[in-house]
Structure 1
Amino acid sequence: MRHRENAAPQEPAAPPPPVPVVTATVKQEDVPIILKGIGTVQALNRAAIRSQVTGYLESVAFTEGQSVRRGDVLARIDPRIYQARLGTAQAQLGRDQALLTNRQTNLQRNEPLLQRGYATEQSVTGEKAQIAQSENAVKGDQAAIDYARTELDFATLRAPFDGVTGIRLIDIGNVVQPSDPGGVVVLTQVQPISVIFTLPTDEIPQVQAALGRGPVPTTVYDQAGTRKLDTGSLLLIDNEAQPKSGTVRLKANFPNAERQLWPGAFANVEITTSIVKGALTIPTDAVQQNDKGPFVFVVGDDHTVSIRPVQVGQRVRGVALIAEGVKAGETVVVQGQYNLVPGKAVVAASPDQVSDTTTASAGMLP
């Protein structure tokens, strides 16, 4: 006897689960157009404080790393020899001035006598020549006094500008002279301060146009480009390009109120040349690339994705400006594109729930 077994009906296969992705909304906002360069911090002024006269270094009036003002005394050289020279020059002036006065008196007495015949023309002419000689001697003495006074003033070393002192290079008790290579100390002006950086030559017209409209806002970041150090303005574009690198140097000034910038340090610079009003923006990670060009995955109302070709403008601080291809308010996939194909269902998730591989395979997409 055969028993007929009733076959159990097969249930349809469950649809695959939606792919977890990170999404973002297309925004419409004003976006600054930023150019980026790398440069070096440069002091506005830097001077080796050298003695302009030779002498014994008597005292130092600063501490290393001290902030000083223009005119502050930094060091003193033994002034006695220069005081003596000034005194000698002043004494010589006194003698020559007395001699000049005496000769002028004699001339005043003899000129009336010449008219009455009691003095000769030759004697009066000689006295006039002696007066001219004494006048020249007095002028020379005054010049010698000015020179001696200048030497004496040079015995006191003063700050030529506001700045910060460095490490002292000569100790008290040494003889200093103008030929000393390093001087007593190096003084550096750090407030304000400059950054010299470069941009490609093809970006310079954009910078020139921005300068023509007014001050160009400039921001400086640390060497890693992650920490903002100061904000300032672009000062100038150099007058020549660097042919080997295809770049042009630019200079920007910064207040450096917090002293975050130090001469010689590397820095990243961003200049804002213009602002695009009402630009459509998405995170740069949303933009993918295949053989047809850039595209994004757009999430529809049914939570499935479709491919949308886009025209990408400038990328600024992790944001891409989209000229064409998406509308404000649409949702695009930012992370998780690797697992997507058109029509795939997705679900919004946090970044830690999504695969680290975010770039879609160009060969697998139409």
Structure 2
Amino acid sequence: MSHPSFPGPRGLARHAWLPLAAAMCLILLAGCGRKAPDADAAVPVIAMPVKATDGSIAGRFPGEVHARYEMPVSFRMAGRLIERYVDPGEQVKQGQPLALLDPADPSQELSYAKAVLDAAEHRLLFATQQRDRDEAQFKQNLISQLQLQQTQDSYASALAGRDQARQQYKLAQSTTLVADHDGIITSRQAEVGQVLAAGQTVFGFAQSGEREVYVDVSESRVGDIAIGRAATVTLPALPGHTYAARVREIAPAADAQSRTYLVKLTVDHADASLQLGMTADVALEGVKSSDSAITIPATALFHQGEHPAVWVVQPSDSKLDLRPVTVARYGEHDVLITEGLKAGERIVMQGVHAVSAGEKVTPIAPPHPEDAPQ
């Protein structure tokens, strides 16, 4: 009787490799149909050539109208706020109530102020009696001139201490916050029911009267400005109105973030139409103009550490180069460049944080025409 023959170990191994070999061939064939990725493929970026701007713009700066005196308003004692009588934007008069503390909260401070006043009045009574007695004895030549002067000094000190304690007691009795001057409430910093510390801000306050315009000047332009420099102020909200102004103050140090210097200008003959918070265009006299001024969108500005820079597309190989620039003015939507760029050079307008130096790119236009530089 014949038995079926079975393959040996070597035959089994040979048959087991056949499906695996077939699968590897299919993978290799599929791979041959694909194109290897190009390491030098250009990345599309929104980039446009820049245009020269009128150099006279370098002497103009965007600004904002402020009050000459702006200050926080607060209670001089701690307590719980139970009432607010005004809101931001309201005009207030001197002596007008603004807010109220819970009268029960300052009772301990009031008791302490009363005790201090009682002690001061007792010291004053003793000093008065001593002064009267020494003056009588001096007339009889019983004490020296020096001793009389010391007694009189003690009396004057006790009188000043009593007046100070009386003032503190008066303040402790008052739980109503009142306006010290005519002005406008610019902000609210505390809510009803909130427990306030002594001196904690309740309102922002702008005093009536003088008006100023604040502008930010780059470090490359601040050297052209001096105290007393004349300027002309115009406002988009008040067409046809022009105000004369002069530089009153220049910040001694640059802002840590923007690296610009705050310049305050006092407006001459400011009228009621000059409202707080209005945007202004300030033309400073004597600021050097630039024949190579270029305006770029704010989205095109990149910071290399603390220094501003832009990504320039090299025309020879379409690769990116990070170039330092000098900013003359920061606007709301654009930036004025006076050094580092030339008209016609192509720069990255958007996505400046998604590219790197030496990267090859393909410049494309912005998806919205209004985003292109004017």
- Short-chain TM bin: 0.3 to 0.5
Which one has the largest radius of gyration?
1
TM-score with structure 2 setting the length = 0.41
TM-score with structure 1 setting the length = 0.42
